[in-house]
Structure 1
């Protein structure tokens, strides 16, 4: 099996098709968030967009020789921006980084599609007790500034985690989570105005 992999073209060629699909969706997702069709040049040169591009390249090339190249580039960018995904490759299509700053994502956490995350956020592991493990997130989740989600918990679809919120419990679909200790408030279209919809 290993010998076959050595001689496989996929080991040496970057996975451009998967990258194009993901980055095209990210582009539309970020443009919709900014209420435009064409992202401004200033944003395309920003560290937030650079991170998304390198993350997608790393994600799409897991297991081939390009993986190490993009790990190094992500690491270099992490030293500048503070964004550390710990080699996590699970973020689905549609990613917005609201503002760079210290962002830590456990390498084993699992994410759905359409994620908004911003500075000061920690997605972490609990090492003991009934919540031992890492979080799982549904689709259309917005995690605002200085919030923490930790442990083996499930965050549903269409969930807004407000700034400065600590979450170590399951959150149902269509919820706004606020505070520390946190409280859950049911809301239809909880992420409306925070996470854009792509036509």
Structure 2
């Protein structure tokens, strides 16, 4: 893997397993998931630039409504971000997501405003979040973690784990995401 690839190329590599040209990336933007990631990354890149920042923020807002993704430019997201399916995803702008993370449809990653877990989640590298999972509060999720579909998670999770259920149970698994996270960058 060459270090000179852009973050958008790294995100699109996760989907195809190939390094794409700008034109090839544009062609792939017919896919709503990839299109949204492209616009999100442009919005993040120009977030602090007055004119381009406003332009990309307006474009992002349009596609948030159109596609049902509520992910903001302020959200810190590592390279190799992958939205698995088109459908409602809501991520608080204060959330931190590591590299090579997969987020499926129906996922909410939310802030908790009170209690011992007050704050927003921080996800490590190579975290796979299944459909309709809810992650809430000032918790830390380690690297190489699977969060199973329909799981409610509001506690810290060590690296190399599988999290399942509501209330959630945490299992230690050495290569938890081995067959879940493809085309790592």
TM-score of the aligned structures, taking structure 2 as reference length: 0.89
Q: Which moved more, 1:53-62 or 1:162-171?
A: 53-62
Q: CA deviation at 1:87?
A: 3.5
1:63 paired to 2:48: yes
Greater radius of gyration (CA): 1
2:8 to 23, 30, 47: 23
Identify the residue that residue 105 of structure 1 maps to in structure 2.
91
SS in 2 for 1:160: strand
Tell me: CA distance 1:156–1:77, structure 2 relative to 1, closer, same or farther (3 Å). same
SS in 2 for 1:123: strand
1:158 paired to 2:158: no
Identify the residue that residue 180 of structure 2 maps to in structure 1.
194
Q: Which moved more, 1:83-92 or 1:54-63?
A: 83-92
Q: Distance in 2 between matches of 1:198 and 1:125?
A: 28
SS in 1 for 2:96: coil
Identify the residue that residue 6 of structure 1 maps to in structure 2.
none
SS in 2 for 1:50: helix
**Count of residues paired in the alignment:** 178
Q: Unpaired runs of 5+ in structure 2? A: none
Tell me: CA distance 1:86–1:46, structure 2 relative to 1, closer, same or farther (3 Å). same
Identify the residue that residue 9 of structure 1 maps to in structure 2.
none
Q: CA deviation at 1:198?
A: 3.6
Q: Unpaired runs of 5+ in structure 1? A: 1-19
1:184 paired to 2:175: no
SS in 1 for 2:97: coil
1:126 paired to 2:112: yes
Is the contact made by 1:88 and 1:106 (CA closer than 8 Å) also made in structure 2? no
Measured on the aligned residues, the alpha-carbon RMSD in Å equals 2.1
Identify the residue that residue 38 of structure 2 maps to in structure 1.
53
Tell me: CA distance 1:55–1:41, structure 2 relative to 1, closer, same or farther (3 Å). closer
SS in 2 for 1:146: coil
Q: Distance in 2 between matches of 1:115 and 1:166?
A: 18
Is the contact made by 2:141 and 2:156 (CA closer than 8 Å) also made in structure 1? yes
Q: Render the CA deviation track for 1:121-142: whole Å, top value 9, x for unaligned.
A: 0000101011110001110011
